[in-house]
Amino acid sequence: MSEDRPQLYLLTPPTFDLDVFPEVLGRVLGAVEVACLRLALASRDEDAVMRAADAVRLVAHEHDVALVIENHIQLVERHGLDGVHLTDGARSVRAARKNLGADAIVGAFCGASRHDGMTAGEAGADYVCFGPAGESGLGTGARAERDLFAWWSEMIEVPVVAEGALTEAAIRDLAPVTDFFALGEEIWRMDDPVAELKRLVAAMG
């Protein structure tokens, strides 16, 4: 594997069946090298999120994959997770870093905002996510353009993640200017997530 080739950052589906998903996730993690996994649940049910965190952590750590959880800072240490992914740009980064300590992973989703990304990096984020990196009608529709990734990769040392509406063509285009690709719904909506992930990883170069 080329050292310049981007790494893979995997997102869980927003909802999943605890009786089925851990086995599917295990197959995916066993088939393709994944650098980090994000528990990205839509649920606000604390008990459901905690049970999911425990189940997913077992699979992730069995495959030596770091597991971060979206936004729920308080659950990181309680459930033996590796860190947190914050979806509010740079706003919570400093507090998360103070709360979790220097060894935890703290990442921030910054939309298409160079300013938010730089602020998050200065506040102690381990990585910054920009997106959607492909065409999407979600959110404001403001796309994170290739120029943003190219500028960031050249000027900023904090690793950058491309996320959202990623197609084979978008991955091929962004591969030279991003450190990670975050893939989730792109593979889980397919009948064979492993095959789809391998197809998209092949486009990384």
Query: What's the pLDDT tens digit per position in 121-136?
Result: 999 999 999 999 998 8
pLDDT score at 3: 59
Q: Is the pLDDT of residue 39 over 90?
A: yes
pTM of the model: 0.96
| CA gap 25, 73 in Å, rounded | 23
Residue 4 maps to a domain: no
pLDDT at 64 over 90: yes
**Crossing angle for the helix pair 46-62 and 21-31, nearest 10 degrees?**
30
CB 73 within 8 A of CB 96: yes
Residue 37 lies in a domain: yes
How high is the mean pLDDT of the chain?
A: 96
Domain that holds residue 96: 9-202
Count of structural domains, the chain? 1
Q: How confident is the model at residue 38 (pLDDT cuts 50, 70, 90)?
A: very high
Rounded mean pLDDT of 46-55?
Answer: 98
Q: Which of 105, 101, 102, 103 is nearest to 86 (CA)?
A: 105
Residues written for the chain: 205
Residue 156: CB atoms within 10 A of its CB come to 14
Indicate if the pLDDT at residue 1 is higher than 70: no
* C-alpha closest to that of 8 among 193, 190, 163, 173: 163
Q: How far apart are CA 60 and CA 65, in angstroms?
A: 5
Q: Tens digits of per-residue pLDDT, 98-123? A: 999 999 999 999 999 999 999 999 99
Least confident among 57-66, 76-85, 89-98, 135-144:
135-144
State mean pLDDT over 83-106.
97
Supply the CATH number for residue 101's domain: 3.20.20.70
pLDDT for res 130: 97
Cis bond leading into 132, ω under 30°?
yes
Percentage with pLDDT > 70 across the chain: 98
Does any domain span residue 22?
yes
Q: Does residue 8 have a pLDDT over 60? A: yes
Domain membership flag for residue 1: no
What is the Cα–Cα distance from 101 to 73, expressed in whole angstroms?
12
- Chain Cα centroid distance, residue 113: 17
